[in-house]
Amino acid sequence: MPIEIPKDKWLGSIRTVTIGATSAEGGTRAKTVTVGGGTTMPYLHFKAPTPNKPAIAIEIKSRKPTDWSPLLAEVWGEAMADPAQWAKKAEEAGADLIVLALTVEDSPEDAVKAVKSVLGATGLPLIVWGPGQAEKDNELLVPVSEATKGEKLVLGICEDKNYRTIVATAMANGHLVQARAPMDVNLSKQLNILISDMGMPKDRILMDPTTGALGYGMEYGYSVMERLRLAALQGDAMTQFPMIVTPGFEAWKTKEAKVGEGVPEAWGDWKARAVNWETLTALALVESGADILVLRHPESVKRVKDTIEELITA
């Protein structure tokens, strides 16, 4: 007698969210990216297939960063001084999406120019982050939103003290938002409720639960993501959003990735160690249900994409 594998029957599922708009949809993107749609815990193919595989975004900046690792400067080269060139190289490196991070030095005109240059250089969907200061975020993201109406950008990052203006301009101009809460299931849920209560369509919200890098709290972030996924499958409507995570930002600020000289010999080759730190952080988050991963190094992108393909087809 064949053995029947027991299968969980979940009440809920993850919402499907599409980023970007083609010319037929009122935008200029050559392609769109759809994430979410899961009906079980990740990669349990004997229960349900994975409807949309995780997408990889590469982070670029509107101005050449001075605080990024020399290893990243080495691989991206002069393109780091020009967001349009950088976006082209990111697309060639295998990105499904581009993340353009604006800076405090940008004026509203600078921000709009940078965003339009990236949209002109690549046909990939675009995520735009403010510099992380509430007033400056509002100053830059509102004109960016207005100048790109219909493109279905993702605007961020919305947090509990700074979400109203970003959500309002996203609603007015047909964009999506990235909602970030600090590694807590209830805080993530509460922010999603606040954004939804403003009238934001639920298929235009990405949930950013925040995480840590390998060895720096990734385990706690993993468990929060897992609990969010379980709550969504159990029917909690305010946790049923695709998750976006930033392993690139987290991994490259750790000493293991940043420090090349004067470290213990047992740490091994600097480049191998740094790329491994980003890759392993990302893969752990893939396993916990991440739908979009924002990376920085092209080699990490390749490794993570290859592993996702293996998970999907296993």
pLDDT digits (tens, 9 = 90+) for 113-167: 999 999 999 999 999 999 999 999 999 999 999 999 999 999 999 999 899 999 9
CA-to-CA separations, 184 to 125, 187, 207, in angstroms, rounded? 29, 5, 12
In a domain, 6, yes or no: no
* pLDDT of res. 264: 79
In a domain, 129, yes or no: yes
In a domain, 172, yes or no: yes
* pLDDT of res. 1: 67
Q: Rounded distance, CA 158 to CA 28, Å? A: 25
* pLDDT of res. 7: 78
In a domain, 2, yes or no: no
Q: Rounded distance, CA 261 to CA 240, Å? A: 45
Average pLDDT, the chain: 95
Q: Structure tokens of 46?
A: 């004997």
pLDDT digits (tens, 9 = 90+) for 22-51: 999 999 999 999 999 999 999 998 888 899
The CA-based dihedral angle spanning residues 231, 55, 303, 307, taken in that order and rounded to the nearest 10 degrees: 50
CB 304 within 8 A of CB 56: yes
Q: How many residues does the chain have?
A: 314
CATH code, domain carrying 297: 3.20.20.20
Q: Rounded distance, CA 34 to CA 30, Å? A: 14
Q: Structure tokens of 214?
A: 């390998």
In a domain, 156, yes or no: yes
- Those residues of the chain that have pLDDT short of 50 are none
Q: Rounded distance, CA 263 to CA 46, Å? A: 45
Based on its alpha-carbon atoms, the radius of gyration of the chain, rounded to whole angstroms, reads: 19
In a domain, 5, yes or no: no
Provide CB contacts within 8 A for 280, sequence distance 6+: 214
In a domain, 180, yes or no: yes
* pLDDT of res. 5: 76
Mode of pairing for the β-strands spanning 55-61 and 33-36: unpaired
In a domain, 15, yes or no: no
* pLDDT of res. 290: 97
For Cα atoms 30, 35, 40, give the angle at the middle one, nearest 5 degrees.
Answer: 155
- Give the total number of structural domains in the chain: 1
Tell me the residue range of the domain where 62 lies: 20-309
